A and B are shown apart, each in its own frame.
Chain A
Amino acid sequence: MDGELTLQDKKDLDKFIKFFALKTVQVIVQARLGEKICTRSSSSPTGSDWFNLAIKDIPEVTHEAKKALAGQLPGIGRSMCVEISLKTSEGDSMELETWCLEMNEKCDKEIKVSYTVYNRLSLLLKSLLAITRVTPAYKLSRKQGHDYVILYRIYFGEVQLNGLGEGFQTVRVGMVGTPVGTITLSCAYRTNLAFMSGRQLERTPPIMGIIIDHFVDRPYSGSSPLHPCNYRATGEDDAGTFPSVEDSQEVCTTSFSTSPPSQCVFTVSKTHFQTPRPVVMDTLKVPLLGLTFTNQMIVPSKEGGIPVLPLHPAPGTQADHDRMPLCNLTDMNQHVAATPSSSGETELLSKSSEGKSGTPQDTLETTFTRKVGAFVNKPTNQVIAANMDLPFAVFASKIVESEDTDVMVNPPDSPTLESPLHASLHSDQSSGSSGLTQDEFVMVELKPAFSKDDFLPMDLGTFYREFQNPPQLSSLSIDISAQSMAEDLDSLPEKLAIYEKNMEEFDAFVDTLQ
């Protein structure tokens, strides 16, 4: 057999590379949504799971990826990159990592496209799944929410790593040789988390060190205009949603042969695929609601798809505008619900929800589970000392997370306030102060050498406040002392008589002391 690629092999290889690129983008973006991902194994091939892996397709992400590719394939000198960045509520942004799908000139002419290349691409996708949970941006993305969001941008062409700062690290996910070149997948990630604006971000742990005033002005208070995107995300019309891309989705029906390699059978049928979005969305409802950015609006789509809608979808140059936010509506609503002062934002969110989706409840449904991060409000775990009448009640029921060094936690409340959360998070937050009226200090991250994680897990501030006003000793109360005085006076003559009777005994005792 000669080393030249047959037409069928070339066609198959192009298809593999194309769908590998699309699946790569899906894996990376889904890993930065901030939620745990879970897909089901299926013993029977469904025909729509490329590379025999259950990787859901978020339509907007696919659309963005296809738009970036613009009909081309990753090749030699043409790399596909997915850039992940972080944007804070103040508008600071920082690139965190760049995933690169490249091809070099090293060819493997002998390799079998329809079998070996396919299986190795499948293995590479599995590696990508594992490694996306290990890079530093994963932990940041799991804790995104009010204070910052994670964005993604897909571009095609030359790899740009300048935004990663000095000393960025590179990790290679893997390589697959093909007859036309070697596909490599790698990730370059930032190690220096200092903001460009000069704001310092501690590296380990990356979130804990941020001292961001919790009570800053809400950045999304409606100052920036909300612009709808120039295309609808999902829901309206499957066929006409993405006119610039292929109308049909190609289905992968794979069958392999155990016969000698020359008889490998691999069929890829191109069928007009009515994208089963309701099915996909049932198991992967990822309502993403980004916060309002300048010139961008992110709305939950009708079916809860990813509402990634930049105002100016010009690729390459305007990086900020092209970045898509990844955030979870459910968490946002949970967070918003716990902070009543953010009613403005709640309204904004609910309005956008109502406007764009017929059933807001459906959009909130998600199969993801989430661990609450450091900066996301944790309403269920707040210890509200104000509600405890007993001075030592705090010992009885205290829910404390050992890793709770949350700088952003609502400050502990004074005992007199009934609803301390409401009082402390008053809507006038322009000063950026703690907002407390009675307590003068703001809860900061304290690691005292004492009173820490003893048998009574209590933080220093609460301890101090609780014991500032201890109850009066019962023996010092006036009533009791008055009673004992009267009794003493009555019994005095008897005692004197006893002492006189035993006078000799007392004198002997005194003698022994000398």
Chain B
Amino acid sequence: MNCRSQTLELTVEARQIEETVLAVLHTVLLHRSSGKFHYKKEGTYSIGTVGTEDVDCDFVDCTYVRVSSDELDRTLRRSVGEFKDALRNSGSDGSGQISLEFYQKKKSRWPFSDECIPWEVWAFKLNVVNLANEQERQICREKVGEKLGEKIINIIEVMNRHEYLPKMPTQSEVDNVFDTGLRDVQPYLYKISYQITDSLGTSVSTTMRRLIKDTLAL
């Protein structure tokens, strides 16, 4: 099975990193989250309800919609915060890429560990610029807001192509497809990683690849 990959790119100011990345990640996860499954007898299951919440950005002229799940929001903010710090520490005018990967677990026989098979990857590349004065920042705020809106439309367009999705699992296999650790919603299994490129365009000596989600839940 081929993993489909989408790349989005945006040029932002340093203080806009967090909000733009969260907007993109939340928009993707809104479409890739389901209500909690409740399995019944006879192989049937019912699905819980997903709530949504509007989020106004402070440094970008944009509002995005996220799933109403504080746990999910905290998890994303933690990883986005790390990405933002790494990007800022790499120096001014750098760039970085944060990736959101959806995967399925495939059980392997002992002694092999479970395999993680990605089926969709979203890569969001950010180019960071520094602006000289408040007027430029105001213009940037509006322009990035427009561009972010375009990215959201791009995401929606891809989502509605109705391409491959893992088939609904049985109760015993639900943890191979979904992240069942949250209390209120159930996103597909995902992991977030990032990579920083300094202003010279070369990878930093230690390419940081931080896995936020632990794939093994033994």
Residues of A within 8 A of B (CB): 36-46, 49, 52-54, 120, 123-124, 126-127, 129-131, 133-134, 138-139, 142, 171-176, 204-205, 253-259, 263, 265, 371, 402-403, 447, 452-453
Q: Are A133 and B38 in contact, with the CB atoms below 8 A? A: no
Among A41, A133, A205, max chain B CB count under 10 A is at A41
Count A-B pairs with CB separation below 8 Å: 153
The closest CB in chain A to the CB of B69 belongs to A41
- With A and B bound together, what is the CA distance between A447 and B134 in angstroms? 12
User: Which residues from B are CB-within-8-Å of A263?
Assistant: 43
Counting CB contacts under 8 A, is B170 at the interface? yes
B27-35, B75-83, B108-116, B209-217: which lies at the interface: B27-35
Q: Are B44 and A38 in contact, with the CB atoms below 8 A? A: no
Q: Are A43 and B35 in contact, with the CB atoms below 8 A? A: yes
CB within 8 Å for A45 and B63 given contacts A54-B68, A127-B156, A131-B152: no
The closest CB in chain A to the CB of B148 belongs to A134
User: Which residues from A are CB-within-8-Å of B153?
Assistant: 131, 134, 171
A sample of 9 cross-chain residue pairs with beta-carbon separation below 8 angstroms, ordered by A number, consists of A38-B51, A41-B49, A41-B68, A41-B185, A43-B183, A53-B52, A133-B64, A254-B46, A257-B45
Instruction: List the 10 closest A-B pairs by CB distance, nearest first.
Output: A174-B160, A39-B51, A54-B51, A36-B54, A41-B184, A41-B51, A134-B149, A43-B36, A42-B49, A49-B49
Counting CB contacts under 8 A, is B171 at the interface? yes
User: Which residues from A are CB-within-8-Å of B85?
Assistant: none
Q: Are B30 and A54 in contact, with the CB atoms below 8 A? A: no
Counting CB contacts under 8 A, is B208 at the interface? no
Chain A nearest CB from B143 CB (Å) reads: 9
Q: Are A258 and B45 in contact, with the CB atoms below 8 A? A: yes
CB within 8 Å for A258 and B168 given contacts A129-B65, A131-B152: yes
Q: Are A130 and B50 in contact, with the CB atoms below 8 A? A: no
Chain A nearest CB from B142 CB (Å) reads: 7
- With A and B bound together, what is the CA distance between A45 and B45 in angstroms? 10
Counting CB contacts under 8 A, is B128 at the interface? no
Among B63, B69, B135, B138, max chain A CB count under 10 A is at B63
Q: Are A256 and B64 in contact, with the CB atoms below 8 A? A: no
Q: Are A126 and B30 in contact, with the CB atoms below 8 A? A: yes
Chain B nearest CB from A26 CB (Å) reads: 12
- With A and B bound together, what is the CA distance between A124 and B138 in angstroms? 34
Q: Are B156 and A174 in contact, with the CB atoms below 8 A? A: yes
The closest CB in chain B to the CB of A447 belongs to B135
Chain B nearest CB from A407 CB (Å) reads: 16
Q: Are A45 and B35 in contact, with the CB atoms below 8 A? A: yes
Q: Are B156 and A173 in contact, with the CB atoms below 8 A? A: yes
User: Which residues from A are CB-within-8-Å of B46?
Assistant: 45, 253-256
- With A and B bound together, what is the CA distance between A121 and B187 in angstroms? 18
Chain B nearest CB from A39 CB (Å) reads: 4
Chain B nearest CB from A376 CB (Å) reads: 15
- Count of chain B residues with Cβ under 8 Å from any Cβ of A? 53
- With A and B bound together, what is the CA distance between A175 and B51 in angstroms? 22
Counting CB contacts under 8 A, is B74 at the interface? no
Contact of B156 among A43, A131, A142, A403 (CB under 8 A): A131
Q: Are A39 and B48 in contact, with the CB atoms below 8 A? A: no
Q: Are A45 and B38 in contact, with the CB atoms below 8 A? A: yes
Chain A nearest CB from B77 CB (Å) reads: 17
Q: Are B53 and A43 in contact, with the CB atoms below 8 A? A: no
- With A and B bound together, what is the CA distance between A120 and B159 in angstroms? 10
Q: Are B35 and A52 in contact, with the CB atoms below 8 A? A: yes
CB within 8 Å for A256 and B168 given contacts A45-B49, A123-B31: yes
CB within 8 Å for A255 and B35 given contacts A130-B27, A134-B149, A138-B63: no
- With A and B bound together, what is the CA distance between A46 and B49 in angstroms? 7
- With A and B bound together, what is the CA distance between A80 and B68 in angstroms? 29
Question: Mostly helix, strand, loop or mixed at chain B's interface?
Answer: mixed
Q: Are A255 and B44 in contact, with the CB atoms below 8 A? A: yes
Contact of B134 among A37, A40, A54, A453 (CB under 8 A): A453
Among A40, A43, A129, A139, max chain B CB count under 10 A is at A43
Counting CB contacts under 8 A, is B14 at the interface? no
User: Which residues from B are CB-within-8-Å of A371?
Assistant: 56
- With A and B bound together, what is the CA distance between A16 and B124 in angstroms? 35
Q: Mark B7-50, 1 if CB is under 8 A from A, else 0.
A: 00000000000000000000100110011101110111111111
- With A and B bound together, what is the CA distance between A256 and B174 in angstroms? 14
Counting CB contacts under 8 A, is B133 at the interface? yes
User: Which residues from B are CB-within-8-Å of A36?
Assistant: 53-54, 56, 63
User: Which residues from A are CB-within-8-Å of B27?
Assistant: 130
User: Which residues from A are CB-within-8-Å of B40?
Assistant: 255
- With A and B bound together, what is the CA distance between A54 and B65 in angstroms? 13
User: Which residues from B are CB-within-8-Å of A44?
Assistant: 36, 38, 48
Beyond A126-B50, A127-B31, 9 additional pairs, beta carbon < 8 A = A38-B52, A40-B68, A41-B184, A43-B35, A120-B162, A123-B162, A126-B52, A256-B45, A256-B46
The closest CB in chain A to the CB of B66 belongs to A130
Counting CB contacts under 8 A, is B100 at the interface? no
User: Which residues from B are CB-within-8-Å of A54?
Assistant: 49-52, 68
- With A and B bound together, what is the CA distance between A131 and B54 in angstroms? 12
User: Which residues from B are CB-within-8-Å of A133?
Assistant: 54, 62-65
User: Which residues from A are CB-within-8-Å of B43?
Assistant: 257-259, 263
Q: Mark B117-140, 1 if CB is under 8 A from A, else 0.
A: 000000000000000011100100
User: Which residues from A are CB-within-8-Å of B155?
Assistant: 130
Chain A nearest CB from B173 CB (Å) reads: 9
CB within 8 Å for A256 and B44 given contacts A41-B35, A130-B27: yes
Q: Are A40 and B51 in contact, with the CB atoms below 8 A? A: yes
User: Which residues from B are CB-within-8-Å of A403?
Assistant: 138, 141
Q: Are A37 and B52 in contact, with the CB atoms below 8 A? A: yes
- With A and B bound together, what is the CA distance between A120 and B165 in angstroms? 11
User: Which residues from B are CB-within-8-Å of A253?
Assistant: 46
- With A and B bound together, what is the CA distance between A124 and B35 in angstroms? 15
- With A and B bound together, what is the CA distance between A265 and B43 in angstroms? 10
- With A and B bound together, what is the CA distance between A172 and B158 in angstroms? 11
CB within 8 Å for A130 and B44 given contacts A41-B50, A174-B160: no
Contact of A53 among B39, B42, B50, B134 (CB under 8 A): B50
Contact of A174 among B38, B45, B134, B159 (CB under 8 A): B159
User: Which residues from B are CB-within-8-Å of A174?
Assistant: 156, 159-160
- With A and B bound together, what is the CA distance between A239 and B44 in angstroms? 35
Chain B nearest CB from A269 CB (Å) reads: 13
Q: Are A41 and B67 in contact, with the CB atoms below 8 A? A: yes
Q: Are B54 and A37 in contact, with the CB atoms below 8 A? A: yes
User: Which residues from B are CB-within-8-Å of A37?
Assistant: 52-54
Contact of A254 among B47, B50, B134, B149 (CB under 8 A): B47
Q: Are B159 and A402 in contact, with the CB atoms below 8 A? A: no
